[in-house]
């Protein structure tokens, strides 16, 4: 379709592991060698654009004799070529990041290749949507070609989903090795014995016959694309990892069984393995009174043994600092340990001294051992300088100033930058990403992966605040965007949960290792007790013997 004049736009909605990067490489190779044109490759960010150019594009240009003569290496002396811009006879190739609008507003483009469009920022600065800007560049060409490729993200905001909807929706149909009926491979037809990924097989939706991994390659060879809607210049292709010759059904099931333990990872599986949008839980509102009934019989004076790591999140207001302390356990389970309000004007030192003391807290576990707050994140959005002053020199105690970044797709805890005269580390926190995780956890309503445990002493106000925001789809500069909107004024319980989770992500502890170590020390203790008992017995015996 890329060389078919009747098609203008090609949409590729895909999973990972299906060779999308190679497809883009092949398109570039074709246009450089056979039909020289101005080409623009759009990657989500400038950094990704550079990496892609160096690691994916350059090796192909070097290795292919048909291309090596035409595109000179950036290193050679007479070369005008750089990592982001390359010339070749009759055309040129630019690589840009969707996050830098200025680089989009220049030269005309005939071949526009947009990779991973669902990871683009929702608008490039103030100038509007990056894809729209790039498409404008192609308007002067009657024979332009636009490719949009991506693994999809969330239903309603996914760009690739929106593009797919305008396409003729082609699926790859493969014949059953038993009845020869052609069909689209779908996750729901994959079967396995409980807990045994190695038993995975595909059940033909026509004859029910067992299709095994070994049949896959032949089926792929005999397959064909079939459109499900009428073609109108937009060809859409959808494919999932179920088809991938570089993956197996067994490994997909193994991944699925693993992510099932972490509800926040299920979204990634649905997007990247199945190549489908996450329908998610937008419509569901979490009711605070339902959470209230979930309080358990523990509080900060004695906390459950399952807690392996403890972190704190702080929110600074004019007359108080609110702190939430949360413990993390295996399988993404967490325990709210304490919610405290430290009163005092935050422009003055007193309340900061109280915070300093508070963060030295140690909590007693049911087995008698003590656990400290391992890491703390403090929002610097208000009383910025006081927060910096407080965090200065506390890196050893892992107390960090953070700054919320609310655009989608950010890491929960990004890489720290140094700010101010004192060069205090400041950590960017992807608040929307963190809220996504917390919301997915709040949906889990019985002790199982992702479950949040609440202590006996948090009140109704706490739960009201925790559920004080709702996910909504909004329109911004012609593009849909998912945002968290406050439905109540006060939301510190949610914010401090976000900051505590950020602190957990700063640490990135290996909880399984910690749990194993804990188990070993307990075993050693009991062993020691046993051996010392045994030694006593031996001694007593020998005493008895000698007495005899």
Residues that bind Zn ion (CB under 5 A): 176, 178-179, 204, 206-207, 209
- Residue 112 or residue 204: which is nearer to Zn ion going by CB? 204
Q: Do residues 326 and 377 touch, judged by C-beta distance below 8 A?
A: no
- Residue 178 or residue 320: which is nearer to Zn ion going by CB? 178
Per-residue 3-state assignment (H helix, E strand, C coil) for 15-62: CCCCCHHHHHHHHHHHHHHCCCCEEEEEECCHHHHHHHHHHHHHHHHH
- Residue 179 or residue 517: which is nearer to Zn ion going by CB? 179
Residue with tokens 């703390």: 376
Q: How far is the CB of 213 from Zn ion (least distance, A)?
A: 16
What residues have CB less than 8 Å from 75, skipping those under 6 apart? Answer: none
Q: How far is the CB of 208 from Zn ion (least distance, A)?
A: 7
- Residue 175 or residue 404: which is nearer to Zn ion going by CB? 175
Neighbours of 215 (CB within 10 A): 18
DSSP character at residue 192: E
- Residue 189 or residue 470: which is nearer to Zn ion going by CB? 189
Q: Do residues 407 and 122 touch, judged by C-beta distance below 8 A?
A: yes
Cα separation, 231 vs 400, in Å, equals: 55
Closest-CA residue to 41 (of 103, 107, 81, 94): 94
- Residue 179 or residue 302: which is nearer to Zn ion going by CB? 179
Q: How far is the CB of 193 from Zn ion (least distance, A)?
A: 21
Q: What pairs with residue 175 in β-bridges?
A: 182
Q: How far is the CB of 252 from Zn ion (least distance, A)?
A: 21
Q: Which two tokens stand for residue 366?
A: 């049911």
- Residue 174 or residue 303: which is nearer to Zn ion going by CB? 174
What residues have CB less than 8 Å from 4, skipping those under 6 apart? Answer: 235
Q: How far is the CB of 18 from Zn ion (least distance, A)?
A: 24
Cα separation, 404 vs 5, in Å, equals: 47
Q: How far is the CB of 222 from Zn ion (least distance, A)?
A: 13
Q: How far is the CB of 178 from Zn ion (least distance, A)?
A: 4
Q: Do residues 222 and 211 touch, judged by C-beta distance below 8 A?
A: no
Closest-CA residue to 434 (of 504, 373, 490): 504
Q: Do residues 151 and 185 touch, judged by C-beta distance below 8 A?
A: no
- Residue 182 or residue 470: which is nearer to Zn ion going by CB? 182
Neighbours of 511 (CB within 10 A): 16
Q: How far is the CB of 148 from Zn ion (least distance, A)?
A: 34
Closest-CA residue to 239 (of 20, 432, 6, 499): 20
DSSP character at residue 397: G
Q: Which two tokens stand for residue 428?
A: 């960017």
Q: Do residues 183 and 203 touch, judged by C-beta distance below 8 A?
A: no
Cα separation, 64 vs 192, in Å, equals: 43
Q: How far is the CB of 177 from Zn ion (least distance, A)?
A: 8
Q: How far is the CB of 226 from Zn ion (least distance, A)?
A: 17
Q: Do residues 26 and 3 touch, judged by C-beta distance below 8 A?
A: no
Q: How far is the CB of 139 from Zn ion (least distance, A)?
A: 48
- Residue 196 or residue 206: which is nearer to Zn ion going by CB? 206
- Residue 202 or residue 497: which is nearer to Zn ion going by CB? 202
Q: What's the sign of the alpha-carbon dihedral 246, 248, 251, 257?
A: positive
- Residue 120 or residue 172: which is nearer to Zn ion going by CB? 172
């Amino acid at each position: 379709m890329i060389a078919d004049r009747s098609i203008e736009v090609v949409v590729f909605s895909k999973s990972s592991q299906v060779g999308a990067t190679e497809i883009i490489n092949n398109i570039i190779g074709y246009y450089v060698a056979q039909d020289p044109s101005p080409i623009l490759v759009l990657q989500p960010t400038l950094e990704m654009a550079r990496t892609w150019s160096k690691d994916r594009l350059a090796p192909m240009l070097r290795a292919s004799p048909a291309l090596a003569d035409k595109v000179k290496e950036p290193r050679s002396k007479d070369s005008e070529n750089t990592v982001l811009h390359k010339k070749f006879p009759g055309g040129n190739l630019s690589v840009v990041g969707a996050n830098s609008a200025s680089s989009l507003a220049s030269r005309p483009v005939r071949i526009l290749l947009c990779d991973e469009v669902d990871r683009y920022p929702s608008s490039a600065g103030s100038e509007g949507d990056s894809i729209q800007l790039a498409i404008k560049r192609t308007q002067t060409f009657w024979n332009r070609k636009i490719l949009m490729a991506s693994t999809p993200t969330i239903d309603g905001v996914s760009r690739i989903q929106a593009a797919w909807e305008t396409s003729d929706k082609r699926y790859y149909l493969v014949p059953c090795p038993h009845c020869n009926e052609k069909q689209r491979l779908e996750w729901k037809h994959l079967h396995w014995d409980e807990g045994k990924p190695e038993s995975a097989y595909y059940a033909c939706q026509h004859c029910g016959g067992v299709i095994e991994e070994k049949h896959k390659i032949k089926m792929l060879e005999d397959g064909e694309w079939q459109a499900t809607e009428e073609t109108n210049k937009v060809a859409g292709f959808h494919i999932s990892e179920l088809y991938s010759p570089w993956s197996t059904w067994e490994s997909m099931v193994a991944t699925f069984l693993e992510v099932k333990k972490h509800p926040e990872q299920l979204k990634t599986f649905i997007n990247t393995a199945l190549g489908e949008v996450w329908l998610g839980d937008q419509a569901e509102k979490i009711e605070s009174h339902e959470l209230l009934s979930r309080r358990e019989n523990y509080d900060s004076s004695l906390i459950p043994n399952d807690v392996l790591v403890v972190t704190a999140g702080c929110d600074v207001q004019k007359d108080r600092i609110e702190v939430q302390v949360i413990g993390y356990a295996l399988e993404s389970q967490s325990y709210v340990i304490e919610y405290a309000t430290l009163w005092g004007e935050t422009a003055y030192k007193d309340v900061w001294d109280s915070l300093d003391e508070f963060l030295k807290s140690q909590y007693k576990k049911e087995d008698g051992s003590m656990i400290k707050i391992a890491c703390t994140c403090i929002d610097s959005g208000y009383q910025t300088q006081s927060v910096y002053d407080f965090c200065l020199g506390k890196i050893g105690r892992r107390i960090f100033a953070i700054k919320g970044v609310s655009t989608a797709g950010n890491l929960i805890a990004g890489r720290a930058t140094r700010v101010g005269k004192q060069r205090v580390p400041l950590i960017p926190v992807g608040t929307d990403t963190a809220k996504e995780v917390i919301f997915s956890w709040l949906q889990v309503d019985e002790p199982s992966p992702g479950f949040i445990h609440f202590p006996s002493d948090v009140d109704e106000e706490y739960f009201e605040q925790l559920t004080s925001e709702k996910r909504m789809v909004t329109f911004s500069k012609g593009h849909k965007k998912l945002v968290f909107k406050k439905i109540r004024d006060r939301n510190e319980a949610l914010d401090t949960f976000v900051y505590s989770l950020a602190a957990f992500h700063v640490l990135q502890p290996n909880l399984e290792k910690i749990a194993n170590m804990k188990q070993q020390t307990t075993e050693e203790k009991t062993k020691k007790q046993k051996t010392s008992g045994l030694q006593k017995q031996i001694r007593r015996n020998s005493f008895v013997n000698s007495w005899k």
